[in-house]
Amino acid sequence: MGAATSDAPRAWRTVLEHIEQQLLDGALRPGDRLPGERALSAELGVGRSSAREALRVLEVLGLIRTAAGSGPNSGAIIIATPGGGMSALMRLQVAASGFPVADIVRTRLILESSVAGDLADAAPAADLSAADLLLDAMDSPDLAPTEFLALDAAFHLALAEASGNQVITATMAGLRSGIEGYALEGVSAIADWSATSTRLRTEHRGIVEAIRAADAATARSRTHDHISGYYAETFPPSSPSGPSAPTATPSPASTTPESPA
């Protein structure tokens, strides 16, 4: 042995597909332990290194968690944490120029505006306590920009989580990771951080307020303006991010009032 017999597909792909199939069949469920690497490779007739390559992919994608040692917590365990995989994907794609930053911002605009609107419309009012906590934490007067930004990201994510849509939550986590580097850089472009953070805090509360008031249109437009405003300030005029400006995206409810009056 030692080589691919030409007609066979890549060995690691075999492993990946095998596990995917078992997941689809229900033979493998979240919380379950995968066979050990040695067993898995023997079972599928591939080398351990090939099996490991597949497991590595699953790990980065957020499907499994691995731990050495013995006992029930060791080995590869199925977990579905899409956020991690999404973050890695977005981050690397941005690094490789596959995702223009402007497109990420535009996508945030769409997703978050929609989330805010849905939250306001939610029949049984969504639980915003997590967001409230973050809002309070952000009021600490002596927060470094980095800390503030982390709380800010967590706040936006908390809204997504409150909406209950796991796909959007994971996507937003990924989008945020993708532009995290730029966000940190951007802080230096802000003239008066104190004023900016105060404004951001006010806008955050305004969004939550609109959601609580079940005013979807306002929640949407405030979210849109909040995000586009921040990026307009962070990425001054000639940001080499892409051909068009992030704020160019017409939001579903930004300039269109359609107020509930």
Partner DNA sequence: TAGCACGTGTGGTCAGACCACAGGAGGGAG
Partner DNA sequence: CTCCCTCCTGTGGTCTGACCACACGTGCTA
| Contact predicate 61/71, CB 8 Å | no
The three-state secondary structure class of 117 is helix
Write down how long the chain is: 261
**Segment interacting with DNA (CB under 7 A) among 11-19, 147-155, 162-170, 174-182:** 11-19
Distance from CA of residue 194 to its chain's centroid? 27
Distance of alpha carbon 163 from alpha carbon 169, whole angstroms: 8
The pair of three-digit structure tokens given for residue 224, joined into one six-digit string: 């849109």
Q: Is 97 in the site for its own copies (CB under 8 A)?
A: yes
Asked if 221 and 253 touch (Cβ cutoff 8 Å), the reply is yes
* 43 part of the interface to DNA, by CB under 7 A: no
Of residues 70-99, those binding DNA (CB under 7 A): 70-76
Q: Which of residues 187-206 bind its own copies (CB under 8 A)?
A: none
Taking the complex as a whole, the smallest distance from the CB of residue 51 to its own copies amounts, in Å, to 11
Q: 29 or 38: whose CB is closer to DNA?
A: 38
> How many Cβ atoms sit within 10 Å of the Cβ of residue 175?
23
Q: Is 239 in the site for its own copies (CB under 8 A)?
A: no
Strands 64-67 and 75-78: antiparallel
Is the Cβ–Cβ distance between 78 and 34 less than 8 Å? yes
Which residues 17-46 are close enough to bind its own copies by CB under 8 A? 20, 23-24, 28-30
Is 54 or 138 the residue whose CB approaches its own copies more closely? Answer: 54
How far is 226 from 229, CA to CA, in rounded Å? 5
Contacts to its own copies by CB under 8 A? 12, 20, 23-24, 28-30, 49, 52-54, 56-58, 60-63, 78, 80-82, 85-86, 88-89, 91-93, 95-100, 103-104, 106-107, 110-111, 113-114, 117-118, 121, 164-168, 170-171, 175, 181, 216, 220, 244, 249-250, 252-253, 256, 258
Contacts to DNA by CB under 7 A? 1-6, 8-13, 34, 36-39, 41, 45-50, 52-53, 55, 66-76
